[in-house]
């Protein structure tokens, strides 16, 4: 029998997360070795999702702690849009996905996990990535560790973002 181990997800699925404040405001910044930030802009940054749906799942996040799109400044909104375009290009180069899901979850009924700090998701998708593991086993198989994904994406973001 094969076993699929993902012990890093236990904290997430059991809800036993310590309250350490806003995950986006407290995200370790580069060059911290545990940083999942793959690109930093002036008013926003791009970070790998700690609990991804697929490899390469990134989020575009304003530095300022603000809860909604409507509360963004014009400069923040424009940079979020620019970083979404940059993320699409970087993910396409790094992973060659067949498609991307792009979205914002505002409010608990919409699926927001972090209500108080708006952020945008970009999730690479491939034909056939929803298979029996996801449908029957309610389990996602992610073949790349987050640190390796960050190492893959950072140079691409740097090249494309400058």
Largest separation between any pair of C-alpha atoms in the chain:
54
Least Cα distance to 72 among 28, 120, 37, 36 occurs for 120
What is d(CA 116, CA 109) in angstroms, rounded to the nearest whole number?
14
What residues are annotated to the active site?
Answer: 119
The single-letter DSSP state of residue 24 is T
φ, ψ dihedrals at 124, nearest 5°: -65, 145
Rg of the chain over all Cα atoms, to the nearest angstrom: 16
């Amino acid at each position: 029998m094969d076993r699929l181990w993902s012990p890093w997800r236990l904290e997430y699925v059991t809800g036993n997360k310590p309250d350490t404040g806003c995950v986006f405001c407290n995200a370790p910044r580069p060059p911290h070795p545990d940083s999942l930030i793959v690109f930093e802009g002036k008013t926003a940054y791009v970070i790998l999702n700690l609990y991804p749906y697929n490899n390469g799942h990134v989020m575009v996040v304003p530095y300022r702690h603000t809860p909604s799109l409507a509360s963004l400044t014009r400069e923040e909104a424009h940079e979020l849009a620019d970083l979404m375009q940059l993320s699409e290009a970087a993910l396409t180069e790094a992973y060659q996905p067949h498609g991307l899901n792009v979205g914002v979850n505002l409010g608990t009924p919409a699926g927001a996990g972090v209500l108080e700090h708006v952020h945008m998701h970009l999730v690479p998708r491939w034909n056939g990535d929803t298979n029996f593991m996801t449908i029957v086993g309610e389990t996602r198989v992610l073949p790349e560790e987050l640190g390796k994904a960050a190492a893959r994406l950072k140079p691409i973001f740097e090249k494309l973002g400058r």
